[in-house]
Amino acid sequence: MAFSPGVLLYAFVGCLVGTLVGMLPGIGPLAGISILLPVTFGLDATRAIVMLAGIYYGSQYGGSTTSILMRIPGEAASVMTCIDGYAMAKKGRAGAALSIAAVGSFVAGTFGVIMLTLVAPPMANFALRFGPPEYTALLVLGLVFLAYMSSTSLVRTLLMASIGLLLGCIGIDVMTGHFRYSFDIKELGDGIGIVPVAVGLFGIGEILSTPASAVTEKVVPPRLRELLPTRTEWRQSAMPIVRGSLLGFSVGIVPGSAHIIASFLSYAVEKRLSRTPEEFGKGAVAGVAGPESANNAASTGAFAPMLALGLPTGPVTAVLMAALLIHGVPPGPMLVSEHPDVFWGFIASMYVGNLVLLALNLPLVGLFVSVLRIPYAYLYPLIIMFCIIGVYEVNHSIIDVWIMLTMGVAGYLLRKFDFDPAPLVLGLVIAPIFELSLRQSLIMSNGNWLIFVQRPIAQGLLAVCAVLLGLAALSPLFKRRDWRAKLAEVEAGEASS
Amino acid sequence: MRVQIRTDHAAGGAIVAAGALVLALSADLPFGTLASPGAGMLPTAVTVLMMAFAVILVLRAAQSPPLADIDWSDVRHAARVVGVMGLAVAFYISLGFVPTMVLLLFVLTYAIERRPLLPAVLFSVGVTLIAYLLFNILLKAPLPRGVFWY
């Protein structure tokens, strides 16, 4: 089943669409997956998740093309590749930079899948010991981790997450049947869907923040004759690829915008370890190989907690989780035993997907570049049309489309006021599981809050939360600028450029 | 002394006000007890938490940039796009997919982005027809038909 032509075809389609999504400004992997979610309704769960995941890791590949050729990160994780990738392109080494990015992504992606194969089943076995208190503690840890790792402040992230949790409370209360904040609109009885919120915040919000006049269409054309890197370039990229793969997977399994953080950390590590740090920013090969490898390994790593624990580590895995739920497959510890076809089909497709991406990205780079020449004035109306179709088709509800539009305006305003919308989406996704686990825990303990510290696993998870919150509280006392401050600077620079 | 309003003053204040509204709307939801939590427990707790974070934001607002520093140069463009989208959504069901999308794409490309008339018309009609064929015929995803039945 996993290697059947049908599944592989959808892996191919997902990778192709993902590459385009990663390249085009104004449409990231989250909006891409959300818009195409309705297209998967006619498919079985395996094919659906294989295609949607292909879009996700394909977008990590695609983002590198615009970063190297245009100095425009098609999606946020490619910000670091812009620096040295574009510098290499200006030196006439665009082909070599693209090759190193593609090979690094392939190696890291494959390493990530091998690690996922090894890590996810034991992680799922361990999670079988989880009851409601452990799940409550795990979800709290997920939110605290997200806030701790975020480049914006802890308070801003937790504020966004609490707004997401509140939005997740809209609709019928599953335990008592009460209608909450539905204002007699029957469509709101089922709650607010993640797709309209995600597409609105990330798709429409991005479009509203990007006037067509601000998008440049200048491309440094790659010299395909020089596609193969030199022996020196290969040697310079080997260890950064290895380090990026290890670092990326490790960061990927932690909640937060893992692929963005991983690429930034990898760049910092490579610059620190380099014998010629002054070359960074001027076309250092390691500055392309490391971050590109790290963001791909992180994208794969993010699937481990999603598949094994049912815990989304970021908005993209949250939408993928929603996609699995729509197809009647709940992710979590029982996924491997109850839906082995979905789990192993997904893993197998990723092995193939990485090969497909390597085959797609190098020979077809000229074709992809021509797509970039579509003027943004024509591109964004097209994206808006797909957003409307995508959101409407989920439930055939016009209310969902209005929610998308409202969230688009909210996304625009959040960007203006320097709020990251990602924690809001995460809060929305975990709200139903969090509320159910919390209330079940309290009912189990007859209202005794100590249940969360009397059970060893929950106690351990909450202890980690306390340590992270403690570290965050202490950080203003130490004025040392860590990587989060630097990441915020880079993101601010990207936003203003 | 004149107090300069900063972005976090405005954002935090707006969230506190929204939280107060949510608390008022939650009044009819049963809170329950700790041993038997009701439908209102989590929303109330989360709203209080949200307001607390917003208050912290306001208290630390001195670290944020002045409200006047926000660049609103793109707001007119954004407002026009939202307005056109709002009209499209309002007429999506009654008018049907094809007419709504042709008009939406045409207004965005011709009226808002000031692209030449002929390319804008060809783009609007061509893209809509391709999308109709892709979703309605190929993927069998039913699109709203409206008064014109397509």
Give one DSSP letter per residue of A315-335, joined into a string: HHHHHHHHHHHHTT---STTH
Report the C-alpha gap between A331 and A334 in whole angstroms: 7
φ/ψ of residue A363, rounded to 5: -65, -30
A5 contacts chain B (CB < 8 A): no
Residue B38 banded pLDDT, cuts 50, 70, 90: very high
Tens of pLDDT, residue by residue over A262-297, are 887 888 888 888 888 888 888 899 999 999 899 888
**C-alpha distance from A299 to closest chain B C-alpha (Å):** 29
User: In sequence order, which residues have a C-beta less than 8 Å from that of residue A276 and are 6 or more positions away?
Assistant: A284
Report the C-alpha gap between A251 and A304 in whole angstroms: 11
Of the candidates B40, B76, B92, B29, the one whose C-alpha atom is nearest the C-alpha of residue A412 is B76
Report the C-alpha gap between A229 and A97 in whole angstroms: 8
Cross-chain residue pair A181–B22, CB shorter than 8 Å: yes
What is the reported pLDDT for A151?
60
Report the C-alpha gap between A345 and A8 in whole angstroms: 10
A175 contacts chain B (CB < 8 A): yes
Percent of chain A past pLDDT 70, that is, above it, reads 87
Choose from A51, A144, A173, A440 for mutation: most chain B CBs within 10 A: A173
**Cα separation values, A464 from A337, A460, A470, A475, Å:** 29, 6, 10, 16
Asked whether the beta carbons of A146 and A156 are under 8 A apart, the reply is: no
What is the reported pLDDT for A258?
67
Choose from B53, B56, B124 for mutation: most chain A CBs within 10 A: B53
What is the reported pLDDT for B114?
93
Q: Is the dihedral of CA A284, A289, A290, A295 positive or negative?
A: positive
User: In sequence order, which residues have a C-beta less than 8 Å from that of residue A257 and are 6 or more positions away?
Assistant: A76, A149, A150, A314, A422
Mean pLDDT of A349-378: 77
Residue A413 banded pLDDT, cuts 50, 70, 90: very high
Kindly state the tokens that stand for B45: 């707790």
Kindly state the tokens that stand for B41: 């427990």
Report the C-alpha gap between A32 and A28 in whole angstroms: 6
> Considering only alpha carbons, which residue of chain A is nearest residue B139?
A39
Question: Which residue do the tokens 């919120």 mark?
Answer: A197
Please, which residues bridge with residue A285 across strands?
none
Residue A496 banded pLDDT, cuts 50, 70, 90: very low
Choose from A35, A384, A420, A434 for mutation: most chain B CBs within 10 A: A384
Pick the more confident residue, A372 or A280.
A280
Cross-chain residue pair A178–B30, CB shorter than 8 Å: yes
What is the reported pLDDT for A3?
63
Asked whether the beta carbons of A297 and A111 are under 8 A apart, the reply is: yes
Q: What is the mean pLDDT of chain B?
A: 91
What are the start-end ranges of the H helices in A303-397? 303-309, 315-326, 335-338, 340-361, 365-372, 376-395
Q: Which amino acid is at B97?
A: F
Question: Which residue do the tokens 């959504």 mark?
Answer: B89
Chain A partners of B35 at a C-beta cutoff of 8 Å?
442-443, 446-447
Report the C-alpha gap between B27 and B44 in whole angstroms: 9
Percent of chain A past pLDDT 90, that is, above it, reads 18
Cβ-nearest to B82 among A208, A377, A443: A208
Residue B35 is classified by DSSP as S
**Cα separation values, A325 from A39, A41, A392, A398, A400, Å:** 15, 12, 18, 22, 18
Q: Which of A96-100, A221-225, A311-315 has the lowest mean pLDDT?
A: A221-225
Cβ–Cβ contacts within 10 Å for residue A145, how many? 17
What is the reported pLDDT for A495?
44
Residue A188 pLDDT > 50, yes or no? yes
User: In sequence order, which residues have a C-beta less than 8 Å from that of residue A428 and are 6 or more positions away?
Assistant: A164, A165, A167, A168, A192, A194, A197, A318
Element (H, E) at A44: none
Report the C-alpha gap between B22 and B24 in whole angstroms: 5
Q: Is the dihedral of CA A54, A113, A336, A135 positive or negative?
A: negative
Q: Is the dihedral of CA A285, A374, A379, B144 positive or negative?
A: negative
User: In sequence order, which residues have a C-beta less than 8 Å from that of residue A415 and are 6 or more positions away?
Assistant: A205, A209, A495
CA dihedral A465, A470, A472, A474 (to 10 degrees): -170
φ/ψ of residue A345, rounded to 5: -60, -40
Pick the more confident residue, A50 or B39.
B39
Kindly state the tokens that stand for A32: 């891409």
Asked whether the beta carbons of A78 and A263 are under 8 A apart, the reply is: yes
Mean pLDDT of A203-225: 68
Residue A313 pLDDT > 80, yes or no? no
Planar angle of CA A132, A135, A141, nearest 5 degrees: 145
Please, which residues bridge with residue A171 across strands?
A180
Report the C-alpha gap between A415 and B98 in whole angstroms: 33
Residue B80 pLDDT > 70, yes or no? yes
**C-alpha distance from B138 to closest chain A C-alpha (Å):** 10
Cross-chain residue pair A402–B64, CB shorter than 8 Å: no
Report the C-alpha gap between A295 and A68 in whole angstroms: 15
Cross-chain residue pair B85–A405, CB shorter than 8 Å: yes
What is the reported pLDDT for B112?
94
| ipTM of the modeled complex | 0.94
**C-alpha distance from B94 to closest chain A C-alpha (Å):** 11
Residue A41 pLDDT > 90, yes or no? no
φ/ψ of residue A276, rounded to 5: -125, 65
Report the C-alpha gap between A465 and A138 in whole angstroms: 9
Report the C-alpha gap between B88 and A200 in whole angstroms: 15
> Rounded to an integer, what is the distance from CA B8 to the centroid of its chain?
21
Question: Which residue do the tokens 């079940």 mark?
Answer: A440
Q: What is the mean pLDDT of chain A?
A: 82
Cβ–Cβ contacts within 10 Å for residue A216, how many? 12
Residue B55 pLDDT > 50, yes or no? yes
Of the candidates A160, A59, A99, the one whose C-alpha atom is nearest the C-alpha of residue A414 is A160
**C-alpha distance from A331 to closest chain B C-alpha (Å):** 24
Cβ–Cβ contacts within 10 Å for residue A351, how many? 17
